[in-house]
Chain A
Amino acid sequence: MTDTTSETPKTSGTNGHSAPPPSTGEAEASHAAAHDHDHGANGHDHGHGKFPHLAHHFDTPQQQFDAGKLGIWLFLVQEVLFFAGLFCAYTVYRAQNPEIFVYAHYHLDTTMGAVNTCVLLLSSLTAAWAVRNAQLGEKNKLVVNIVITLLCAFAFLGVKYKEYSHKIHEGTLWGHHFNPEHELWELDSFKGKHPEAAELAEKISAIQYEGQAKPSRGNDAAPKAEPVAAVAAGTSPTESKERRIQRLLMKAPEEAIHPLVAAGIIKHDVLSTTGLERPPTAHIFFGIYFFMTGLHGIHVVAGIIVWFWMLTKARKGQFGPNYFGPIDYAALYWHLVDLVWIYLFPLLYLIH
């Protein structure tokens, strides 16, 4: 290999400067698409006849591969810290306001989350397998594995699309857009897990909204504000409502009350509960949810673009034992996207 090294500058010297061959001349330098052309205007990537994919400033394919590998790992470090802000925001709010996470996770579909987890794990396998194929120069298997990875990526986005559109329909969105169609105790996910609690909540809400139409969507402040106002005014029917709610709560078993307290629907101090209310900052969960999954989704889209690029390269049969770096780097990136999801799934969907 020492030969190649000492040869390189000489070769490059002649190619690049004193006597430029036609292929690296001026015409091409001004060609706008020069970046598409692997042999750019400056004659990078030439001068290694033995290894067509070896860039001029590296001595050996090993050096080039190791440099690329360190580069992609540093990029992944950067990605980890990029997601850090969101994980940090998540942790702070989860630590300080656990009830909004309990409340909100019932609005998420665990099955869809689990399916997406499996889809991403499968794609991680095919990505890792693709690296093996590239290393061994198995062109056809490589193409198949990349295609499966791509299909998984699209499946993931498809499921995500279904989840998002469901949430838009349900009004479980961020900030001022948070205006849920269904109250917690009306959700199947809640009913299934805590039937007694759902029943109790149903009864309380029946008393709470007795004699008034259940506030329709769009009338945000109504559900809790009105009974409270009535209490303040000291009108007797509301007082009796309050007492009836208290009586219900006192009779109710612990397993009916606990889930409602945990979700912030009734107050920790049960005896001061006058009705059901949503945790006031519940929308922050959805802010974090959409931001985290959205950013993750953007990474999936970026991964799809990268895999399509790799697919075209793979179909040309460019990869082999001396040149498989790009597939390896793409796979590493893809695994990181998977890693983020491995944490997002329990953090967002599996809250107890």
Chain B
Amino acid sequence: MATTTTTDFASPVPSATDNYLGNEKGILSWLLTLDHKRIGVMYLFSVLASFALGGLFALLVRAELWTPGPTLPRVDADMYNQFFTLHGAIMVFLVIIPGIPAALGNIILPLQLGAKDVAFPRLNLMSYHVWILGACFMLLSLVMGAADTGWTFYTPYSTMTETAVIPAAFGAFVLGFSSIFTGLNFIVTIHKMRPKGMTWFRMPLFVWALYSTALIQVLATPVIAITLLMLIVERAFGIGIFDPALGGDPVLFEHFFWFYSHPAVYIMIVPAFGVISEIIPVFSRKAIFGYKFIALSSVAIAILGFLVWGHHMFVSGQSTLAGTIFSAITFLIAIPTAIKTFNWLSTMYKGRIHLETPMLYALAFLWVFTIGGVTGMFLAVMSVDVHLHDTYFVVAHFHYVMMGGSITAFLGGLHYWWPKAFGRMYKESTSRLAAVVVFLGLNLTFFPQFILGSRGMPRRYYNYLEEFEGLHQLSTIGAFMLGLGFLITAYSLLTSLKKKFDAPANPWGGTTLEWQTASPPPYYNFATPPEVNRGPYDGYDTLEYDEKIKGYVPTKA
């Protein structure tokens, strides 16, 4: 094994009192826990609940678009605006941003580092509590007359609308701090808590991805915090910085907003890259191809991601000069992203590919993310963007990246680490079926939107021309298919929780450290602190599958 740790692979299931799920009981032992795994689990279920809520709004939006004009009873255009705003705000701030880093990352990162915990367990818990507070404000906005500004809160509309913008913006403001605390914690953990022998280039790629993400979280999120605070103050007191009615400049808000929100899309996608980089070598039984390039391209994306925010503003009053600069830098982002994709493909080349659920999601990711990424390049061209801006083409593009990229990778990671986190195996056939349904539903939902957009269907519209009806209906069918896929996934995962612990320590044959402790891990993660003497993806040939425990064990010499 890659470490000197000796885990008893033959009897992998720890006793009820020793594993982190069972060592303490009662609701407070969860809410006041300092254990990164428990905090991660709480994040996970909170994020999944938000995902269900955000998904519900998505289905409402899609159902409303079944026919032009009013479709659902009692849903008028204003309410439709609130639906898509809530869908966007919930999915962005409550689901995708915390999804992989705070939920999966919290559970897995210290395990992959062989650490007992993150560097600041109390800060970690506080980050979760802050998240809950932010989520409460989001829900408060829902009750108080949901905002209808779109998740972007653009001024001057957001200073004029009658709806509850302040609670929603304050919710996002608070959630930002939760994200900052998580990022800060991860950076310090990665710097200071690595085990003996784990140099920077022996860290798993998921850790590299979380590190890059954390850099963005710490450097960009405070800007959205102050921007939203300024928006709140603008609305509440009228200070006139963004409000043209007071002599302010609304374009300034867009700059402020996108200075964070463009890097934020990398907060959403870079951890997904990390998950994919974990899954592909394991299920190809082959060391990852181009480790250093994948690791450093994450950092490159994180840094370049700061220099491109203006490509959201090509037609919003930004100057042509700035647009040209931003457009050129946006093209550059394609380079590190393509490096990753090619390396993943090269990893699979001549590998022994196992098509278990996590790998199905990883393959789906490659397909969907490539479409999303390449259409992003179309939009980076200023002259093309002038035509496609604010059409369904943009909607399709970012759903292919966010939904198709981040959520697919999140689901892949969830299935990959589910046995580790909860000690139970889900039913493989059900989950595979769900993965296929999700993949098909996803393409059916969003591919027609590319066509709609290129034909001029504007986004965020309640009504549309009759010629678009067929494509809209295809998209709506796809959305419900997606919903069905998620229901099957939820069924498969949740029913597994009712079983006794049955997951082996290493069900997939992974070589990173988290597979070298029991499933679920004991409270202190490792019986003895691991030491590392080789790369994270070396040594697939030192593992063999043991039918008896249904998991991988070191090859007997």
Residue numbers of A with Cβ under 8 A of B are 5-6, 9, 12-13, 16-18, 26, 29-30, 32, 34-35, 40-42, 44, 55-57, 63, 66-68, 70-71, 74-75, 77-86, 88-89, 92-93, 174-176, 280-281, 283-284, 287-288, 290-291, 295
Given contacts A57-B116, A77-B218, A85-B230, contact A174 B187 (CB under 8 A): no
Mostly, the A contact residues are: helix
**Interface membership of B119, Cβ < 8 A:** yes
Contact indicator A41/B33 (Cβ below 8 Å): yes
* Cβ contacts under 8 Å, B255 to chain A: 88
Query: In the docked arrangement, what's the CA distance between A34 and B29, Å?
Result: 10
* Cβ contacts under 8 Å, A290 to chain B: 239
23 A-B pairs, CB-CB below 8 angstroms?
A9-B524, A13-B524, A26-B24, A26-B25, A26-B26, A30-B26, A32-B28, A34-B28, A35-B122, A41-B33, A42-B33, A57-B116, A71-B184, A78-B221, A80-B222, A82-B223, A84-B226, A86-B230, A89-B241, A92-B249, A92-B252, A176-B246, A284-B246
* Cβ contacts under 8 Å, B119 to chain A: 57, 67, 71
Contact indicator A29/B184 (Cβ below 8 Å): no
Contact indicator A29/B188 (Cβ below 8 Å): no
Contact indicator A78/B184 (Cβ below 8 Å): yes
Contact indicator B32/A41 (Cβ below 8 Å): yes
* B22 nearest CB across to chain A (Å): 10
**Interface membership of B191, Cβ < 8 A:** yes
**Interface membership of B219, Cβ < 8 A:** yes
Contact indicator B223/A81 (Cβ below 8 Å): yes
Query: In the docked arrangement, what's the CA distance between A57 and B218, Å?
Result: 23
Closest 9 CB pairs of A and B: A287-B239, A85-B226, A175-B238, A281-B247, A82-B222, A57-B116, A57-B117, A81-B222, A67-B192
Contact indicator B184/A34 (Cβ below 8 Å): no
Closest to B529 in A: A5
* Cβ contacts under 8 Å, A83 to chain B: 226
Query: In the docked arrangement, what's the CA distance between A70 and B123, Å?
Result: 14
With beta carbons under 8 angstroms apart, the residue of A26, A57, A82 that contacts B226 is: A82
With beta carbons under 8 angstroms apart, the residue of A55, A78, A281 that contacts B222 is: A78
* B147 nearest CB across to chain A (Å): 21
**Interface membership of B527, Cβ < 8 A:** yes
* Cβ contacts under 8 Å, B34 to chain A: 40-42, 44
* Cβ contacts under 8 Å, B118 to chain A: 57
* B11 nearest CB across to chain A (Å): 17
Query: In the docked arrangement, what's the CA distance between A340 and B92, Å?
Result: 32
* Cβ contacts under 8 Å, A78 to chain B: 180, 184, 218-219, 221-222
* Cβ contacts under 8 Å, B523 to chain A: 16-17, 42
Contact indicator B192/A89 (Cβ below 8 Å): no
How would residues 202 to 236 of chain B score, 1 for a CB under 8 Å from any chain A CB and 0 otherwise? Answer: 00000000000000001111110111011001000
* Cβ contacts under 8 Å, A13 to chain B: 524
Given contacts A9-B529, A42-B34, A284-B241, contact A17 B218 (CB under 8 A): no
Contact indicator B17/A9 (Cβ below 8 Å): no
Residue numbers of B with Cβ under 8 A of A are 17-18, 23-26, 28-29, 32-35, 115-123, 180, 184-185, 187-188, 191-193, 218-223, 225-227, 229-230, 233, 237-241, 246-249, 252, 255-256, 522-524, 526-529
Contact indicator A16/B240 (Cβ below 8 Å): no
With beta carbons under 8 angstroms apart, the residue of A42, A88, A174 that contacts B239 is: A174
Query: In the docked arrangement, what's the CA distance between A80 and B180, Å?
Result: 13
Contact indicator A79/B193 (Cβ below 8 Å): no
* B386 nearest CB across to chain A (Å): 25
* A2 nearest CB across to chain B (Å): 10
* A106 nearest CB across to chain B (Å): 20
* Cβ contacts under 8 Å, B240 to chain A: 174-175, 281, 283-284, 287
* Cβ contacts under 8 Å, B180 to chain A: 78
Query: In the docked arrangement, what's the CA distance between A56 and B524, Å?
Result: 10
* Cβ contacts under 8 Å, B526 to chain A: 9
Query: In the docked arrangement, what's the CA distance between A75 and B23, Å?
Result: 33
Query: In the docked arrangement, what's the CA distance between A57 and B221, Å?
Result: 28
* B327 nearest CB across to chain A (Å): 22
Query: In the docked arrangement, what's the CA distance between A228 and B187, Å?
Result: 62
Contact indicator A9/B527 (Cβ below 8 Å): yes
* B112 nearest CB across to chain A (Å): 15
Query: In the docked arrangement, what's the CA distance between A57 and B123, Å?
Result: 14
Query: In the docked arrangement, what's the CA distance between A106 and B284, Å?
Result: 71
Closest to A66 in B: B192
Query: In the docked arrangement, what's the CA distance between A92 and B249, Å?
Result: 10
With beta carbons under 8 angstroms apart, the residue of A32, A35, A40, A75 that contacts B184 is: A75
* Cβ contacts under 8 Å, B123 to chain A: 71
Contact indicator B222/A18 (Cβ below 8 Å): no
* A12 nearest CB across to chain B (Å): 6
Given contacts A16-B523, A30-B28, A44-B34, contact A291 B233 (CB under 8 A): yes
Contact indicator A29/B219 (Cβ below 8 Å): no
Residue in A16, A63, A175 with the greatest tally of chain B CB atoms within 10 Å: A175
Closest to B121 in A: A44
Contact indicator B184/A74 (Cβ below 8 Å): yes
* Cβ contacts under 8 Å, A57 to chain B: 115-119, 121, 193
* A36 nearest CB across to chain B (Å): 11
Query: In the docked arrangement, what's the CA distance between A71 and B188, Å?
Result: 6
* B498 nearest CB across to chain A (Å): 25
Contact indicator B187/A74 (Cβ below 8 Å): yes
Residue in B193, B226, B246 with the greatest tally of chain A CB atoms within 10 Å: B226
* B8 nearest CB across to chain A (Å): 15
* A138 nearest CB across to chain B (Å): 28
Contact indicator B184/A175 (Cβ below 8 Å): no
Query: In the docked arrangement, what's the CA distance between A80 and B219, Å?
Result: 9
Closest to A279 in B: B247
Query: In the docked arrangement, what's the CA distance between A264 and B255, Å?
Result: 28
Given contacts A16-B523, A84-B223, contact A174 B256 (CB under 8 A): no
